[in-house]
């Protein structure tokens, strides 16, 4: 087959593929373009043939890239793949993924290059939409969690100020009446009722703390975590070690609430699934970040399987924790192995929250 015949077959192939095909000489002038390119961009063949790609189709802000591309071509080199925008005749922009190949004559001398392109504008737009929806989902999850905590706090306050105060007042009145009681049988009944009220008041106080511990708002995140640890010791028999920061963290309320919710859920996972005897939590402020590490000596689990399952479950699993931390520009790491306990570490950068510490 002659060189001329091979060239014709090559151009015929480029003309009939359903991809953008453009050939350039060593100066960057267009020496061939297929109909697919013309239909996509709206240019007429006579408007582009022999013209400089940079002057006609390449956006001005990418001119430096094009100059370097042509310089590399002169030295027998070329960028094989890249993504760049091109301008249509109407001034619109489309994003194209290019694959480039050197063009040589029958002597093997470089005479230009061929670019085959795929329009990925719709693909990129779809990716941007997905990223936007994901960000909106993270924001919604964070807002819902904050709203839930505010509602828990409202219910807790109403129980304390309403039901709790009424029970305390009823106890005081019964106690006063019991002092004037002369019948031993009646005194016994009074004492039984007062003891029952004391139990109810204690249970109500515990319930209000579990709903929303006042310590979280009145003292801070560290105190609320200490209270959670006391609950693990008292109600579940766990040996718990707490290593707090050298200086108070002084977190803004919404961040403290979010971190408390995460710690509470991780503690709940230990109680429900780990069968652990010991647990350790470490709170640190390192530079402009909050670091929290939770370790247990429980049965461990398959991390990848747990992450997959959490997608399909309700509640606040590993997937949801990671999503909320990502919204705060934070990071979650989980290390576990069946029979070898679990270590969970997460961090939140304070600079993202514009927090100033003295």
pLDDT digits (tens, 9 = 90+) for 227-246: 999 999 998 999 999 998 87
User: 249's torsion region: left (phi>0), alpha (psi -120 to 50) or beta?
Assistant: alpha
The residue ranges of the chain whose pLDDT is under 70 are 1-7, 306-316, 351-358
Say if CB 116 and CB 98 are below 8 A apart. Answer: yes
pLDDT, residue 15, reads 78
- Residue 41, judged by CB atoms within 10 A of its CB (0-12, 13-18, 19+), counts as buried
Q: d(Cα 60, Cα 323) in Å, to the nearest integer?
A: 39
pLDDT, residue 309, reads 62
Q: State if pTM tops 0.85.
A: no
pLDDT digits (tens, 9 = 90+) for 27-52: 889 999 999 999 999 999 999 999 98
Q: What angle, rounded to 10 degrees, do the helices at 253-269 and 221-236 form?
A: 20
pLDDT, residue 296, reads 96
pLDDT, residue 357, reads 42
pLDDT, residue 332, reads 94
66, two tokens: 């094009």
Contacts of 273 (CB under 8 A, 6+ apart): 298, 299, 301
* Residue ranges in the chain assigned as alpha helix (H): 3-16, 35-41, 45-48, 53-56, 63-74, 121-158, 165-179, 184-211, 214-218, 221-236, 253-269, 303-311, 318-327
């Amino acid at each position: 087959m002659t060189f001329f015949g091979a060239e014709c077959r090559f151009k015929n192939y480029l003309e009939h593929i359903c991809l953008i095909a453009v050939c350039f000489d060593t100066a960057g002038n267009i020496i061939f373009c297929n109909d697919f390119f013309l239909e996509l961009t709206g240019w007429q063949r006579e408007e582009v043939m022999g013209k400089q790609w940079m002057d006609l189709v390449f956006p001005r802000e990418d001119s430096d890239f094009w100059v370097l591309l042509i310089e590399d071509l002169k030295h027998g080199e070329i960028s094989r793949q890249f993504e760049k925008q091109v301008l249509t005749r109407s001034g619109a922009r489309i994003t194209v993924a290019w694959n480039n190949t050197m063009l040589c004559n029958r002597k093997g001398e470089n005479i230009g290059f061929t670019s085959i392109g795929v329009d990925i504008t719709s693909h990129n737009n779809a990716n941007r939409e997905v990223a936007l929806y994901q960000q909106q989902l993270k924001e919604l999850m964070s807002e819902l969690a904050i709203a839930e905590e505010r509602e828990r706090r409202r219910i807790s306050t109403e129980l304390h100020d309403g039901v709790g105060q009424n029970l305390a007042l009823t106890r005081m009145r019964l106690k006063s009446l019991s002092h004037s009681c002369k019948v031993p049988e009646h005194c016994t009944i009074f004492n039984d009722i007062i003891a029952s009220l004391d139990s109810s008041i204690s249970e109500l106080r515990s319930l209000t703390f579990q709903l929303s511990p006042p310590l979280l708002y009145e003292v801070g995140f560290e105190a609320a975590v200490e209270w959670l640890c006391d609950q693990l010791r008292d109600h579940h028999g766990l040996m718990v070690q707490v290593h707090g920061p050298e200086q108070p963290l002084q977190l803004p309320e919404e961040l403290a609430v979010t971190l408390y919710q995460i710690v509470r859920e991780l503690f709940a996972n230990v109680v429900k699934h780990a069968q652990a005897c010991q647990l350790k939590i470490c709170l640190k402020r390192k530079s402009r970040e909050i670091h929290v590490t939770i370790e247990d000596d429980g049965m461990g689990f398959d991390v990848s399987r747990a992450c997959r399952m959490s997608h399909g479950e309700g509640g606040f699993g590993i997937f949801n924790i990671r999503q909320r931390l990502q919204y705060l520009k934070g990071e979650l790491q989980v290390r576990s192995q069946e029979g070898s306990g679990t270590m969970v570490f997460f961090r939140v950068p304070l600079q993202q929250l514009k927090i100033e510490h003295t």
